[in-house]
Structure 1
Amino acid sequence: MSKLSDRLIAFNKDLLPDMVQLKYEAMTENAFRFYRGTCHLFYQDLANAEALPLSPLVWICGDLHIENFGSYKGDNKLVYFDLNDFDEALLAPASYELARMVTSIFIAFESLDIGPEKALKMARLFVKTYCATLAKGKSISIEPRTAKGIVCDFLTAADDSTEKDILKKRTVYKKNKIMLSLEDERHFKVDKKLKHELKAHINEWIATSSDGPYNYKVKGIIFRLAGTGSIGVKRYLFLLKSTNTKNKYLFVDMKQARPSSVLPYTTVQQLQWPTEADRIITTQKRMQNVSSSLLSTTVFREDSYVIQELQPVKDTIKFKLLKDEYRDIYQVIDDMAALTASAQLRSGGIHGSAIIDELEAWGTDQQWQDIIIEYSRKYAEKVKRYYKQFVTDYKAGKFKKG
């Protein structure tokens, strides 16, 4: 077994065994899918490289890449485009977030057959816009009225989506009842005992939590797969029905929170959080302009979970559909850079993160930008070598259970 295989198996050993097999299978798709599923490798290697310039401490989402931006419905019922995955979030040098994101541009663009010259231009654009936004010292937000180009179209479509759309996608009608569908390959049946406990738990959350929806009851529960890196964690989808409005339904996602995979590879002193879920949603609230709808935490069977409303639309921009539209790609990357800087500005000066003055100075400093880009370009080549080794080991059966 290669050292790479040892590292992957060690990291995933505490996840649900059957689901980990699906994770490994998903990671064979291409180098970018592999990169999304191996955030821990990136930080293991970064800790040993010591190649990045000194940078201010900021709150980071930790696993920033081009598919961890997307639409979501805020608790004010408006739709936003922003960073949307905070499972790995913590306090760390700003360069960590940048290198992770810029590396994703190089890897994703090659997987999409977008030439290396365009990838390099987009990497430079991301860093340039990120710096320009920091230098201004003022965060921005993107919603349908302020969005441009393809992001505007994306958010407008999300804003126009209805609860009926998601109901049609996620449910079936049987015996005069609406039920969560098990036809979707990402949906799995939950055993009776667990289902009974989960139902009681969420009904209690609805009744007692100030973050829960009023006047709803659980009508259905399934186990749900989503993403790549999070395949293998415990994750449940709940169908809730209103008790006082006819044919009114709501979907709630409950996802197990694990320690950040960045944590072992940073020397930065971290806050002592009550639970991992508290770390995730507190950082999310600091970094996003508006919080996701129903964002909350709970503890079930001694594991902490993040709860939030399931979004009614696919919530990431599909670059595969944009690969021949240079202007659209430019606008999306430009927006992502401004949002990354804005998240750091918005959370600046909180519990150890750099104040706005320091972030402005970092944004105007020209000396570090090429270093980040070059590190990311070289690391993207390393990821491709990892991916080839992983596929070889996978085909040889080295990741099979037992």
Structure 2
Amino acid sequence: MSALSDELKAFNRNRLPEMAKLKYEAMTENAFRFFRGTCHLFYQRLSGVKGFPRSPLTWICGDLHLENFGSYKGNNKLVYFDLNDFDEAVLAPAIWEVIRLVTSIFIAFDALDIDQGQAQSIASLFVNTYAATLLTGKAVSIDPRTSKGILNEFLKKAEKSTYREVLEKRTENKGSKVVLSLKHERHFKLKKALKSQLEEHITQWIRKSNDGPYNYKVKDAVFRLAGTGSIGVKRYLILLKSTNVKEKYLIVDMKQSFPSSLEPYLKAGQPNWPNQAERIIAVQKRMQNVYPSLLSTTEFRGEDYVIQELQPVKDTLEFKMIKDRYRDIYQVVDDMAVLTSSAQLRSGGMNGSAITDELKEFASRVGAWRQPVLDYALNYAAEVKADYKEFVKEFGDKVYDNQYHMSNTVEVD
């Protein structure tokens, strides 16, 4: 057994053992999927690099890659495109966010068989646009009114999405009742006792929380599988039905919160958050221009969770669909760079994060740190490919099999 498998097993030991196999299987898909599932390895290695260009402290989402941008409906009912995953969010060097995204470009493009010359150009584009946006000192947002090209088409399509589409995908009729469908490949049946406790908990959340939806009652609940890095985290979908409007339903996502995987490698002091869920939504509200509907936290069975509405418009732009359209890729990555710097500007000056003038000064020195970022990202992409090859071999040799039954606690049937 290799040091790599020891490291991966150690990191995933507090995830649901019943789901560990599914996470490891997902990570065998390609090197990019492996990269998404090993965020902790990235920062473990990056934090040990000596002499890397310094950068001011900012709020970062921590796990920034090409598929952690997406569409969603804000609490003002408008559709936006923005960073959309804050599980790893912390106060850290601004350059860390840039390096992870640029690394994801090299790995994802290679997995999609996109010419590496194009990858180099797109990576340079991201760094240059990121710095140029910081220099303006002005955070911007992207919605159907301000977007261009392929992203405009993507957001206008998202605008037209309806809740009926979500219900058609996620629910089924069981006699006279509407329930969450267990035919959906990412839904799993909950044990009776857990389901009962969960439904009662959400009933109380609706009654008592200022963030909960009014005039709804709980109708059903399932375990949900989603993402890559978060497979194995406790995550539930709860179906709610309006008590005022006939046949009106709402689906709520409830996701367990863990400490950020960056935490062991941070030198900057962090705020004293009440819990990990509060950390996640606090940073999300700082970095996004408008945050999603029903975004809140709760404690269930002594564990912290983030709650938000499952939306019809929440989606990521799949690069495999546009891999032969260089101009579209150029525009999308350019927009991602604008959003990355905008999130840092928007959250500047909070709990020790750099103010606008410090970020502008950092951006003005882009000539000093652009090439080190590109070089490190390219080299780390090669490390990921080597790690992925070793991981796939060991997975095939069943090295990870003995982790599947670490616990007697079974969350799903």
How many residue pairs match? The answer is 402
Partner of 2:206: 206
SS of corresponding position for 2:394: helix
Q: Is 2:79 the partner of 1:56?
A: no
Write the letter of the residue equivalent to 1:397: K
Would you say the 8 A contact 1:17–1:401 is kept in 2? no
Partner of 1:373: 374
Partner of 2:41: 41
Partner of 1:117: 117
Cα deviation for residue 123 of structure 1 reads: 0.3
Partner of 2:394: 393
Q: Deviations over 1:292-329 (max 9, x none)?
A: 11000000011100000112145100000000011110
Partner of 2:326: 326
In structure 1, the gaps of 5 or more residues are: none
Alignment of 1:332-351 (within 5 A): 332-351=332-351
Partner of 2:410: none
Cα deviation for residue 177 of structure 1 reads: 1.3
Would you say the 8 A contact 2:172–2:179 is kept in 1? yes
Q: Deviations over 1:231-284 (max 9, x none)?
A: 000000011100000111111100000000001011111111101000000000
Cα deviation for residue 12 of structure 1 reads: 0.2
SS of corresponding position for 1:143: coil
Would you say the 8 A contact 2:73–2:313 is kept in 1? no
Cα deviation for residue 95 of structure 1 reads: 1.0
Alignment of 1:48-87 (within 5 A): 48-50=48-50, 52-87=52-87
Cα deviation for residue 401 of structure 1 reads: 2.8
Identity, % of aligned pairs?
63
SS of corresponding position for 2:368: coil
Would you say the 8 A contact 1:254–1:307 is kept in 2? yes
Would you say the 8 A contact 2:135–2:359 is kept in 1? yes
Write the letter of the residue equivalent to 1:195: K
Structure-2 change in CA distance of 1:40 and 1:51 (3 Å): farther
Q: Deviations over 1:154-178 (max 9, x none)?
A: 1111110011110101011120211
Q: Is 2:289 the partner of 1:289?
A: yes
User: 2:213 & 2:146 partners in 1: Cα distance?
Assistant: 29
Write the letter of the residue equivalent to 2:400: F
Q: Deviations over 1:66-100 (max 9, x none)?
A: 00000011111111000000000000001111111
Partner of 1:304: 304
Would you say the 8 A contact 1:277–1:306 is kept in 2? yes
TM-score normalised by length of structure 1: 0.99
SS of corresponding position for 1:122: helix
User: 2:299 & 2:352 partners in 1: Cα distance?
Assistant: 27
Would you say the 8 A contact 1:51–1:375 is kept in 2? no
Partner of 2:135: 135
SS of corresponding position for 1:401: helix
Would you say the 8 A contact 2:66–2:105 is kept in 1? yes
SS of corresponding position for 1:97: helix
Write the letter of the residue equivalent to 2:241: K
User: 2:50 & 2:86 partners in 1: Cα distance?
Assistant: 25
Partner of 1:22: 22
TM-score normalised by length of structure 2: 0.96
